[in-house]
Amino acid sequence: MSLIVQKYGGTSVANETNIKNVAQRVVRAKDEGKDVVVVLSALGDTTDVLLNMAYNINPHPQKRELDMLVSTGEQISIALLTMAIHFLGYDAVSFTASQVGILTDSVYTKARILDIKKDRIVDELKKGRIVVVAGFQGVTRDGDITTLGRGGSDTTAVALAAALGAEYCEIFTDVEGVFTADPNVVPEACKLHVVSYEEMLEMSASGAKVLQLRSVEFGRNYGVKIHVRSSFVDVSGTWVIEEDERMERAIISGVTHDKNQAKITIFDVPDKPGVAARIFQALADSHINVDMIIQNVSERGLSDISFTVDREDLPLTREVMLKVKEELKAREVHFDQDIAKVSLVGAGMKTNPGVAAAMFSALAESNINIEMISTSPIKISCIIRKEQAETAVRSLHKKFNLDRVSRPHKESIGTGSAPGSQPANGLHQESGRNE
């Protein structure tokens, strides 16, 4: 009997009707002869409600206690879904992450999975039960509850699929898949049939919220096929799989944007070996992820260094950088929250010159100034003013004719519901997506 893992986001289980609909979908998979493991997020905007309560009580809560608080949301959703499955006449059992041994490090609110003790899940599956697991959370070796960060239920699901050797992992959300741009910004954006792990990694890292970055990393590292699809309509979505010769290699697969960025510039630091290491080691020690980095040309033995971080990390970044400023005797540190990152992603740009020139031309035609640039073999990202982000996305989508992208396979990769069923088409942030 084949095994699949299904993950349902907060909007998919936002109310009693939705929970019952999810239960119907789960038992349908069971009736098709599959073992089923289900991973759930908290109901609707539960996580945001709990976080707001926490910060109203204490503007600077300890991260350990935040994890204790927000992890309760998933315990509610897994119990309710299991009850709904029981009502349909099927045997199911719910587990928190600690009960099934999802072990993490102790970086609260951003924990990373270290190991999964799968024995308890396997034992329950052998009994014919549907297993329902709380997403977004884990436990340290000392028994402390942790959470995996925004979108963490995606990572829970793909990690479980890897550990259990699942046929594939379905990520059910409120959109139909991965699109060439956010449909809320570009109504004519096209749903993609299939994207490679590498493309999806770049999309997730540059603003597409449909999959958490670490879930895609798990998929790539362990060969887990991921199917992003809607829980509200019964259509095929977007398959995220290893690139192979049967894929059409579009030059550009999508345009992403991220308004949740901040740019930090430290001015007049000594231009000598070890200074950059000192700055970025201090940030790393505080578990702050840095994205784009630029160092200006040295003048008078001094230089300026600019970099970007997620805006939610800005308070801690400010604290760290003010200390670094004093240590390095830098002139000042400037913090800018009014920026956005816009990116082009596509495996085809590796073999097609002129993509960067076309991108910069499109932005110039829209009178958009570029403040920072970063590239990889399949991505070009630019930092621009936040208020121009949506204009930039529409301009780039039109420039590269992405409203005509269909991206089919040259031949069917297979048949049935797994990759190869001529999977249908996505890059839109799930509304209300908490974990």
**Residues at the annotated binding site for substrate?**
47, 74
Count of helices and strands (H, E) across the chain: 12, 18
Instruction: Classify burial at 206, counting beta carbons within 10 Å of its beta carbon; exposed 0-12, middle 13-18, buried 19 or more.
Output: buried
Burial level of 71, CB count in 10 A (0-12/13-18/19+)? Answer: buried
> Taking CA 75 as the corner, what is the angle to CA 121 and CA 64, rounded to the nearest 5 degrees?
105
C-alpha to C-alpha distance for 210 and 48, rounded to whole angstroms: 18
Q: How far is CA 187 from the centre of its chain?
A: 22
Residue of 159, 155, 99 lying closest to 131 (CA atoms) = 99
Calpha distance 339→384 (Å, rounded): 6
Rounded to a whole number, what is the largest CA-CA distance in the chain?
77
Beta strand 145-147 with 168-173 is: unpaired
Contact between 266 and 324 (Cβ < 8 Å): yes
Distance separating alpha carbons of residues 172 and 11, to the nearest angstrom = 10
| Whole-angstrom Cα Rg for the chain | 22
CA distance 248 to 237: 17
Binding-site positions: 7-10, 47, 74, 173-174, 209-210
* Long-range pairs, 410-418, Cβ under 8 A, ≥24: 410/246, 410/247, 410/248, 411/246, 413/194, 413/241, 413/244, 413/246, 417/236, 418/167, 418/168, 418/225, 418/227
Binding residues for ATP: 7-10, 173-174, 209-210
Strand segments (E) across 87-178: 92-95, 102-104, 113-116, 130-134, 137-139, 145-147, 168-173
Per-residue CA distances from 435 to 110, 148, 209, 245, 291 (Å): 12, 8, 11, 34, 22
Q: Which residues pair with 264 in a beta bridge?
A: 307, 335
- What one-letter code names the amino acid at 68? M
Whole-angstrom distance, CA of residue 49 vs CA of residue 46: 5
Instruction: State whether residue 67 is helix, strand or coil.
Output: helix
